[in-house]
Structures are given as C-alpha cells and as structure tokens.
Structure 1
Amino acid sequence: MGISAKVGHRAANRRNDVIVVQELLNSAVRRFPVLNGGSGALAVDGDCGALTLNAIEAFQRKVLHFNYPDRVVDPGGKTWKKLNANIESPQQVTNSSQSWNFQSVVKWLDEQVPQSVIDQYSFFERSLLDLFSGDEVQGNSAAVAPAVTPFRQGDERWGKKPLGFGGGTIHGYGCAMTSLTMAATYLGSRTKYWPAGQQPDKLTPLIVNNILKSSNAFTKGSYILWIVGGAKALGMTGQDSGIGQELAQEAVHSIDACLKEGGLVLAHVDYKKDWVGDHWILITQKRSNGEYVAIDPAYGKALALYTTPDGGVKAKSHVLLYGRASSFIDTTPENVKNYRVVRYVTLKTSVAENKK
C-alpha cells in the first residue's frame, strides 16, 4: 500500500491517495488507544476536508508527539510510516546509506529533522514565495505587490518609546501608527510637519510618531490617534468607514475599489468580541484568487484574509474579512488566526494641499 503524492494541508490530495490515508486513519483509531474519543470514523470518500485534516493533526500530535503538526502525510515520511507501520529495518537503512544522492539526502532530512525545524522552514519558504510571487494583483498589471516597507511595532529601535503624548508605548499601543507608517512609505509625500529632506521610503515609526505629534494628530496628553488626521500629516487622504458602527457586508466593495485604484487599506480587526476592533493591520493587495494580503505590525509579517471564514464557522454580516486558521503555520498565536475585519480606513496619495 502506498500513496503517490502528499495528502493533507495544501497538498496534491489525489483522490486515491486520500482514500488510502482515510482508511489508515480509521484503522489507527483502533490501533492507538490515545486516539479514542476523537470525532469518529472518517467517511472514506477521497475528499481531504476539515475532518480528515483534523484526524491527521490528532495522529501527529498524539501518536508522533509533534509539537507543531503540519497536517500533511508525505510519502515515505514519518507520518506515513507510522500510519502504515512501514518502518525501515536496520538492514534497509544500511543498504540505502550506500547509495546517497540528492533525493536520498532530502528523504533522510525529511525523516530525521525535528518537526519544529521543518515548520520554521515552511514558514520561511512561504514568506519567500509571498515576496517573489508573480501572482496577478487585482488592478495592477505589473503583477507585483506595492513597495510597502514592513515594520514591527515592538522593534527595539522604537518599541519602548512613548506613543504620542504618553500613557503607552509604541510596542503596546502603536499598531495604528505603525500601520500608517508602512502605508506612508508607499503612498506618503512631504507635508510641513516632516523633517527637512525626509523621504517617504525612509520613514520609520519613530519618525512618524514625531510627525503626528507635531501635527496634533494625537489627542492632547494621550496616545489616542486621530487616524484620518494622521494620514493627512503624512501626505495621504484617509476615509474612515465609521467608529462604533456595524458595517454591512457590501462595504468590502469599497476596500476592493481602493486597492484597485492603487490605494491601501488600514483595517481594524477584532479577535475578542463580536465586532469591536482590537488591533490595526494594513491591507496591501487583493490577489486574483480572491485572497487579501495584509501586513501585521505586531509581527512585521504578511498574512492572508478572506471574505469567508474557515469551513464550519458561521459568517457574520458585519464582518468584512476573516483570517483562517488553515492559512497560518501552527506556531501562529490563536488571536491572529481569529482576525475579523470590522472597520477600515481607505488610504490614497494626497493632493498637493498642505505640502511644501
């Protein structure tokens, strides 16, 4: 018994291979008592859906003791061998060691490298693919992502500095300001509040923090930021969808229109309550497959958003975009996987008003 290609998360999932894995997973529940109490027998239908992915993850976590299950059954890999009881004998290992080639080295690494290292490689691989992707961006014939400089609000160069006029740090409360900084590196232009000779692509959260203080974009004596005023001080125009309002699903069309016209979108995401935002991120593009790409200032890294949630999660009319647990690596914090966009500010390049 064997499989011809990978089965699981973002894998080939050829029907016959999936059927084999589903049968083995059902058998594993009988063979490994630690799996008892699961969701029951899988339908052997060749469809690698959520239940099959969950069963693979449970097997990797409970039987193989992976700290970071990848939900993938790889031909000849650790999960496959344990599922199929196809463990190489010492004699086989000895024989195979006499004929090393590129493929055998890759196979050996796949079997021997700790799962945590594999997970970190997978994350690095995806970051590179995002960086150099030729995927067509909606409304952008150049087929490249906007030249936005990513920043992390907790960076040691500015994370401990007071945000605005005090009461909190950039690390603790600077998600909106850091997101505005990232947007301004692409859309911004000089205004009277900028330091002499300052160029947009050289902006940093520390510089922007001072610009916004000079323009009184922060409430006097606090770190509370007037986002539209801050955008103006950075040479952009901002239009807020509204504070404390439950938006209709149709509002996502204005996000699409802004991105198509070359703008960016500051998105207020909720991950605790029903619709009150907890954090700000910057949406930079919409791919041709309908996936939205955003940069999270909490990490300075890209993430994906969708118009619908993970399968089995009920959509809500006032939520415009969703994070999906399936689009993140397993080490991603749960709050990030639960991002829901409930408010937004569209950002575009400003007209000449207020510039030197």
Structure 2
Amino acid sequence: MKLYVATILVGTCLTLGACATGSSHTQKNMKRPQAQSQDYIAQTGKKRGRFELVDKIQFLQTDKRWARQTLGGSGESLAKYGCLVTASAMALTNLGFKTDPGDLVNRLKANKGFTKNGLLIWTGLERVTGGRTKTVFYKRKDDAVVRACLEAGYYPLVKFDLASRRTHWAVVIKETKKGFYVRDPMVASSVPIPLKSRARGIDAVRCIGMKT
C-alpha cells in the first residue's frame, strides 16, 4: 500500500467541509485496554497532562485523492461523511500501518466493514489489519475514558457536535493541562488542535490500539 500525506498548512488552522457520520454498535462494552509498548507513547505518567501518543500524520476527508469515494453501499462521499473513517486512518497510520482514507475505505468494503447504510462496523478495523489491532467500545463518554485509552497507548476516537449541530469525529493525540488535543479530519493544521475549540462535550468514545 502506498502512503499518502494530506496537505498541512503550517502555522494555521482552516475549517474545511462538513461531516455527519456514524458507526454500527456491534461490540459490547469492553474493559479498559491493557497497556501497550512504549513505542506508541511519547510521554507517559499517572498525572493528568502527561499523555501524548505518536503523531506523524494528518489526513483530510476533503483531499481530492479520495474525497469522492463512497462509504459502503450508501453512495455517501468521504468528503461529506467520512470523518470517522479519516480519523481511523490517522490512528492506524500512527500505529504503524501504511494506509490512508481512500485505501481504508476499499479495505473495509472488501472485509464487510460497513453496513448497507455506510456505517462503520468496528470489527472491520480489526479485520483489515489482520487481527493485529483491537477496537474498544465504551458506553461511557467522559474524560476518564479518553485518558485511560491514552495511558494504555490506544488512540481515542471521539464523537461530538459541531457548532452547526452536525455530528463529527476526531482522533485524540494527547492531553495537556489545557485539555485534550486532536487531529480533526476537517481542519488543516501543523499541530493537533484543542478539542475544546471544536466541541463543548464528548458524545461517544471508541478506542483502537495494537492487540497484545
């Protein structure tokens, strides 16, 4: 698989497009993931403000290389509804897999990773990585869950509403004393941006990491 890197606007943040996507809740509520290798954790510690995962990529769902690809059999495009797939592609790339949003869509389609309506099936992410990853579904949606995933080396995917009230997903990269920082599939930035700049609260948490 060839790895593509989305364009990054150095020193700026630019909001792009819109996204409203979902996922199929096919997994039961799972326990806190086991801690992973330090290879994925830049800084670790038990105190708040010290968790930072590897951050080596940014993908935008509006990138022309995959913007027109459709999700499952829904006919909906990555550009409009692909924030969750794009966030997942960033998490997988940071975990060491060579992929991008377009490639991930193709692999999910080939591995029954979408419902008929184009919703992402979480176990599909495990299948496309040959069982090397583990996805974790939480019923809780608080900061403690996000923090536990970061501490274990898992990438939290968080769902929230934009100011326009449209549903959106982003991948959390780190936590500092100022809060969580994310890579947002609709925001071009040279660095992760504060989650608080995009969301008033978290509506759902899903995490993905390497199976141990």
How would you bin the TM-score normalised by the shorter chain?
A: 0.5 to 0.7
Change (3 A) 1:169 1:253: same
What is aligned with 1:291? Answer: 179
2:100 corresponds to 1:204: yes
Distance 1:238 1:151 in 2: 20
- Judge conservation of contact 2:181–2:194 (CA < 8 Å) in 1: yes
Distance 1:230 1:148 in 2: 23
Q: Which amino acid aligns with 1:267?
A: V
Change (3 A) 1:164 1:339: farther
Unaligned ranges ≥5, structure 1: 1-122, 128-135, 189-199, 306-322, 325-335, 352-356
2:55 corresponds to 1:147: yes
Partner of residue 342 from structure 1, selected from 177, 197, 203: 203
- Judge conservation of contact 1:139–1:261 (CA < 8 Å) in 2: no
2:109 corresponds to 1:213: yes
Distance 1:211 1:293 in 2: 28
Distance 1:187 1:161 in 2: 24
* TM, length-normalised to structure 1: 0.42
Partner of residue 223 from structure 1, selected from 104, 107, 118: 118
Tell me which stretches of 4 or more aligned residues in structure 1 moved more than 3 Å: 123-127, 136-140, 142-145
When Rg is computed on C-alpha atoms for both structures, the one with the higher figure is 1
Change (3 A) 1:158 1:348: same
Q: Which amino acid aligns with 2:123?
A: G
Report which of the two has the higher share of strand. 2
What is aligned with 2:135? Answer: 238
Question: What RMSD over aligned residues (CA atoms) do the two structures have, in Å?
Answer: 2.9
Residue 271 of structure 1 deviates from its aligned partner by: 2.8
162-171 or 264-273, which deviates more: 264-273
Distance 1:342 1:297 in 2: 17
Identity of aligned residues (%): 23
- Judge conservation of contact 1:187–1:263 (CA < 8 Å) in 2: no
Give the alignment of 1:65-76 within 5 angstroms: none
Give the alignment of 1:154-233 within 5 angstroms: 154-187=62-95, 200=97, 202-220=98-116, 222-226=117-121, 228-233=122-127
Deviations 1:43-85 (CA, angstroms, capped at 9, x unpaired): xxxxxxxxxxxxxxxxxxxxxxxxxxxxxxxxxxxxxxxxxxx
Q: Secondary structure, in 3 states, of the residue corresponding to 1:340?
A: coil
Residue 347 of structure 1 deviates from its aligned partner by: 1.6
Residue 168 of structure 1 deviates from its aligned partner by: 0.4
Distance 1:339 1:230 in 2: 30
Q: Which amino acid aligns with 1:279?
A: H
How many residue pairs are counted as aligned between the two chains? 168
Distance 1:165 1:300 in 2: 28
What is aligned with 2:156? Answer: 265
Change (3 A) 1:160 1:241: same
Report which of the two has the higher share of helix. 1
* TM, length-normalised to structure 2: 0.68
